[in-house]
Structure 1
Amino acid sequence: MSDAESAAWDYVIVGSGAGGGTLAARLVEAGMRVFLLEAGGDPRAAAERLPEDYDVPAFHAFACENAAMSWNFRVRHYADEGRQAKDWKYEAGQGVLYPRAAALGGCTSHNAMIFMLPHDADWNHVAQLTGDRSWRASRMRRYARRVEDCRHRPVWRALRHVGLDPTGHGWGGWLRTEKSIPLSVLGDEGLVRVLRDTASVFTSSLPTPLLSTLRWLRGGLGDPNTRRLRPGSFEGICYTPLATSEHRRAGVRERLLDVAARHPGRLQLELDALATRVLFDADGAACGVEYLKGKRLYRAHAAPSSAEGVRRDVRARREVILCGGAFNTPQLLMLSGIGPAAELEAHGIPLQKNLPGVGRNLQDRYEVAVTHRMREPWEVLEGARFDRDDTLWRHWHEERSGMYASNGAALGVVSRSATADRTGQEPDLFCMALLAGFEGYFPGFSKRVRDQPDQLTWAVLKAHTLNRAGTVRLRSADPRDTPLVNFHYFEEGDDQAGEDLRAVVQAIRFVRRMTAPLLAKGWIAEELAPGAAVQSDEALADYVRNTAWGHHASCSCPIGPPEKGGVLDSAFAVHGVPRLRVVDASAFPRIPGFFVAAAVYMIAEKAADAVLRTAMRTPLSAS
């Protein structure tokens, strides 16, 4: 009998990412014993380009394609093959690449490290849906403070000791946040010109330019996470705060290793362990997890193993908590007999609980690119090979300076689409200037970052989308197979009126207005995509349909009543299945904010409170 089978673990958690890793660490600090399953290994282990791909912020695209930790899902955006085939990133018979990470820390090991809080309306919607006032935005802010150790507002960090802090930031959390563009890169004339002209065009487009500028200064100098001094959410030009420590990636991996070191014996990090199904006792309550021990067992891996793996199981005295993300959590639930009865029957899986909402309601943001070729390569990227020991790496390694200390995002602009403005909804458009060529995910996409140092991409992101039609379905009953994922974009889904589509077209036109001075002066040589020939609303809409992608998959096991497709209650418990919870991006009923990581950190901290309250009410002998 293995240690996993014989040890007395209070909780078994599947997945070590923003949800599972955050939750596990907090439960261990509360005195619990936690067995944490992770299908990958340590992302800083000795392998090609590691640990540099993990550590260096500018290398995050290479981390996404690093075979030591990458899971390459292939997804569809449309069921219609003719429509899907118009996307140049689509591989017939395969799909569109959707990178995920199999590593300690989950997708926080390869993401772009952006830490932006969701909007108040995202939390208030959950409170209204469930009747649980603990989800109100005013109460959720404390979880952001519990996570964050803000290092990009030094004045307010100093003044907090004398009781002055209107920002709402966290100053003592476990996740350090810093600015994305170090001052050391502002010697690049081209970069300064992009920042200056963008700011000028944006400000002059406002109804009251001077007043709006003063409000922006008073509201935190482009800090999107500061508490507003007036009602409403942040709008305008901003920087993108990053989860880095002294301009080096820092996240869930570091949190878990720190907690394990401080509380020996309480946290078992079981790496290279692929969960295959939840185990149940005679009363139908979750009591453990079966898993396969071995490296690269899941077929999403860049180089999957042909080995079978060693079958093991681990038991939980209190609860089993699934945190595998929007693709893997619904897959694991269905493999365990929890999900749509007809689908489980089709795969010969015995029914444990009929929950039709499992694997439905899948959502993502729409993202498209407006890319340009500059007249000259970026000065800040001169000599960049995006490898160890080049000039920029040495500046980063020795001084934590230069462009490698950034994720490549020069600045962001938050605004509202015409629909959001008319209806008074939260800002739903985020446009981000990247000093690289990036038009979505396809095999080898990271090489473009390295090989084209004269590119400027405006990534256009549409949040608060209307589409709820995405699905995660079983490919087979084999837990090593990836699921079938289809997001059913735009008209194929719920956006029959085309509101999302029009919003993205509006954002492209907005970006073109901001870049027009740079084109007129010759600093931008040409617009590569959509390209100067693509001008009409219809042509731009086709460009969006044919090229849009996403990378924040969410909502496939949503909180909500089961009769409306809900899978979880407001405390993350699976409806009708005792001692089983889900705490990851799949739990949201609607995709929150612009970037999902901060929201997942927050719900993991909230879930820890819910789990510990249950533990206090339930004597161990009764569990």
Structure 2
Amino acid sequence: MIAKPFSKGDRGVPNFNDDLTFDYVIVGGGSAGAVIARRLADAGIGTIALIEAGPLDEGVPCLMDVSRLSEQPTSLDWGFLASTTDAKPARLNYSRAKVLGGCGTHNDCAWLIPPESDFAEWERLGAKGWGPQEIRSHINRLLSQVGVETRPDTNPVSAALLRAGQELGLRRTEFRQEISPGIGMLPLNAIGKHRQSSSVSYLHPLSKLPEMLEVFSETFVTRVIIQDGRAIGVETSLGPVHARNEVIITAGSIQSPQLLMVSGIGEAQHLGAMGIPVVADVPGVGRSLADHYSSAVVFELKESVPAWDVTPYESIMLLKVDADAPAPDCLCQFGLRPGNPSGRHGEKSTSSFNSEGRLIDIASNATRPRSRGDIRLVTSDMRDKPRIRLNYLSDPEDYDLRIIGEGMRFARRFIETHSFGEIAVREVAPGPSVVKDDDITDYIRSNLETVYHAAGTCRMGSDDDPTAVVDTALRVRNIASLRVCDASIFPSMVTVNINCAVMTVAEKAAATIIAAAKTPGSRAANEALLAIGS
């Protein structure tokens, strides 16, 4: 398909043979990029180009209907492969969206607001101004824009799971209101089955976008153009796009660091090995990769059951393994395996279990994992996939392993309850022969799955933090007029699914950029005055 920009009405399609210049150029139309683009456009601080490598999402049934996730074509995914440990080759399909709306267009729409302790931790790590009090207004603004509903507990399996959790001493919890130990139905950023992604919530209908905003679809950014230490635009698959004020990278935790590195911003030694001239030596680029990952207990049900009607996960439980943890340290998702095509793009399940239509798993993950991986270049070309090393279970104190294991031990107790025992036959995996701690550990090490929550690869921090890539205003170190805003800037992993957190970060970033543009004497303010006078 030929890449082309989106055109609004009679305004015509921009010609890449011309000198395309905007006040702000945003790279990536995902969960963060769409939010920032709309907020800047509505603020009237200048012209905005939102550049997305994938196609538009509006009006495509499998993109708008959450229940049709498995119908999405593989062309909407970047096809990244990752290694879970240094000892294993890169064979894990690490799904990343290539479509307007980003991963919010092909996720399960789990919508959980991070607890205040997450943002308090960010502030403790050097992200001043990102504490819970400062973040609250941005969360509220986000919630006024995005439609959220909690799934009803009408499915008999969900109802049985909730009752079983209560038999085990868990409190029935409304996770839309609080993140605390308990069990309950999962809130979704969906109304019925209709997604409420960043693109749906902030950009649709595309035909009525603000005049100040242009959305370029199917346009791949290959490099940030840097001149005299300042970002002045980007090279794309169709030609250059220049920025008067700022370039804002919102390409996600894999491609944001990759784009910085191919543009000469990163660890000098690594860039030199790739033959890339060093523009700024920023060692933290691509490092500090955090991810949520899990291992599951699987049960066989007495009877085949239909799939849940919206998402593969309807309910969750949150546990506190360590009593002094500031928030739940273990999250378990309940997943139904009806035996039909499953996964993000309709691929058949790779599970070796064969009780078709009669399996349910309880997947345990450490909410604040301590293992860290990295993103490294393979070549100097943005078109080539980077190396993704997740380094699961690599933390020296085995914290992640302990938390995941305790979550699984609790999950195994469900079969002992009256409510779950009425519908379940047996534990399929790890299975009754796996009892000793060493055997459970071996099972976990051999059965790890990603939750696709990569974060931290362009982490935010204080000026004296050698691992930080961006400051508290999300400005890239040693380069003017360049910011990064997506999950890659997280100073540490949040307790819950990350989509809400990413959009919250985008709301705060937009407010920061708008405030800077309206500050007398700023470059953006001066450019705006010149535009008014011309």
After TM superposition, the score normalised by the length of structure 2 is 0.88
1:332-347 aligned at under 5 Å gives the runs: 332-347=259-274
Cα separation, partners in 2 of 1:71 and 1:528, compared to 1, 3 Å: farther
> Given the alignment of the two structures, is residue 139 of structure 1 paired with residue 134 of structure 2, yes or no?
yes
Distance 1:324 1:508, change over 3 A: same
SS in 1 for 2:404: helix
Residue in 1 that maps onto 2:37: 24
Structure 1 pair 529–52 and aligned structure 2 pair: CA distance change class (3 A): farther
Residues 70 and 342, structure 2, Cα contact 8 Å, conserved in 1? no
Q: Which amino acid is 2:332 matched to?
A: C
1:23, 1:105 → 2: CA distance? Answer: 12
Q: Write the deviation string for residues 167-215 of structure 1: whole angstroms up to 9, x where unpaired.
A: xxxxxx221000123x6x44x4x54333322322234xxxxxxxxx5xx
Between 496-505 and 579-588, report the one with greater CA deviation.
496-505
Q: Is the alpha carbon distance of 1:137 and 1:577 closer, same or farther for their aligned partners in structure 2, counting shifts above 3 Å?
A: same
| TM-score of the two chains, using structure 1 as the length reference | 0.76
The one-letter amino acid of 1:224's match is F
Q: Is the 8 A contact 1:416 1:428 kept in 2?
A: yes
RMSD: 2.6
Q: Could you tell which deviates more after superposition, 333-342 or 509-518?
A: 509-518
* Equivalent position to 2:457, from 552, 556, 575: 556
The alpha-carbon distance between structure 1 residues 521 and 264, as it changes in their structure 2 partners (threshold 3 A), is: closer
1:141 is paired with a residue of what secondary structure? Answer: helix
| Equivalent residues, number | 506
Structure 2, unaligned runs of 5 or more: 1-13, 528-534
Q: Secondary structure at the match of 1:592?
A: coil
Tell me the secondary structure at the aligned position of residue 176 of structure 1: coil
| C-alpha distance in 2 between matches for 1:333 and 1:572 | 14
Distance 1:460 1:574 in 2: 35
Distance in 2 between the 1:441 and 1:435 partners? Answer: 12
Q: Map 1:453-464 to 2 at 5 A.
A: 453-464=357-368
Q: For residue 434 of structure 1, what is the aligned residue in structure 2?
A: 335
User: Please, which runs of 5 or more residues in structure 1 have no aligned partner?
Assistant: 46-50, 85-91, 149-172, 204-212, 217-221, 228-232, 294-311, 382-402
Instruction: Decide whether the 8 Å contact of 1:61 with 1:446 is kept in 2.
Output: no
Distance 1:121 1:521, change over 3 A: closer
Map of 2:92 onto structure 1: 96
Specify whether residues 234 and 198 from structure 1 end up closer, same or farther in structure 2 by C-alpha distance, changes over 3 A only.
Answer: closer
Residues 542, 554 of structure 1: CA spacing in aligned structure 2 closer, same or farther, 3 A cutoff? same
Aligned to 1:515: 415
The residue matched to 1:564 in structure 2 has which SS? coil
Which residue is equivalent to 1:277? Answer: 223
Q: Indicate the residue corresponding to 1:73 in structure 2.
A: 80
CA contact (8 A) 1:223 1:238 kept: yes
Structure 2: distance between partners of 1:520 and 1:622: 65
One-letter identity of the residue aligned with 2:381: D
SS at match of 1:598: helix
**Contact 2:289/2:454, CA 8 A, preserved across alignment:** yes
Task: State the partner residue of 1:224.
Answer: 175
| Residue identity opposite 1:196 in structure 2 | R
Check the 8 A contact 2:458/2:469 in 1, yes or no: yes
Aligned 8 A contact 2:31 2:199 in 1: no
Taking the aligned partners of 2:438 and 2:405, their CA distance within structure 1 comes to: 9
Corresponding letter in the other structure for 1:236: G
Q: Which residue of the other structure, out of 266, 284, 297, is the alignment partner of 1:357?
A: 284
Deviation at 1:107, TM superposition (A): 0.6
CA distance in 2, matches of 1:274, 1:536: 51
Distance in 2 (CA, whole Å) between partners of 1:318 and 1:374 is 59
Quote the Cα distance in structure 2 between the aligned partners of 1:478 and 1:545.
34
Quote how far apart the aligned CAs of 1:99 are.
Answer: 0.9
Identity %: 28
Q: Is the 8 A contact 1:97 1:441 kept in 2?
A: no
Rounded to whole Å, the distance in 1 between the matches of 2:491 and 2:47 is: 30
Q: Give SS of 1:202's match.
A: coil
Q: How does 1:4-403 map to 2 (within 5 A)?
A: 5-31=18-44, 32-43=46-57, 51-63=60-72, 66-80=73-87, 84=88, 94-130=90-126, 132=128, 134-148=129-143, 173-181=144-152, 185-186=154-155, 188=156, 190-203=157-170, 222-226=173-177, 233-258=179-204, 260-281=206-227, 283-293=228-238, 312-378=239-305, 380-381=306-307, 403=308
Deviations 1:434-462 (A, max 9, x none): 22269997986555799943221112121
Query: 1:108 is aligned with what amino acid?
Result: G
Instruction: Tell me if the contact between 1:437 and 1:448 (Cα under 8 Å) persists in the aligned partners.
Output: no
Greater alpha carbon shift after TM alignment, 561-570 vs 594-603: 561-570
Post-superposition Cα deviations, 1:319-366, rounded to whole Å, max 9, x if no partner, equal 000011110000000000000001111111111100000000011012
Gap change, CA 1:69 and 1:35, over 3 Å in 2: same
Name whichever of 579-588 and 238-247 sits farther off: 238-247
Structure 2 Cα separation of the partners of residues 292 and 350 of structure 1: 21
Q: Does structure 1 retain, via aligned residues, the 8 Å contact 2:150–2:188?
A: yes
Kept after mapping to 1: 8 A contact 2:112/2:176: yes
| Partners of 1:426 and 1:70 in 2: CA distance | 33
Which region of structure 1 is more displaced relative to structure 2, 534-543 or 191-200? 191-200
Displacement of 1:44 in angstroms is 5.2
Measured against aligned partners, the alpha-carbon deviations of 1:245-265 in whole angstroms (never above 9, x if no partner) come to 233112122234337544443
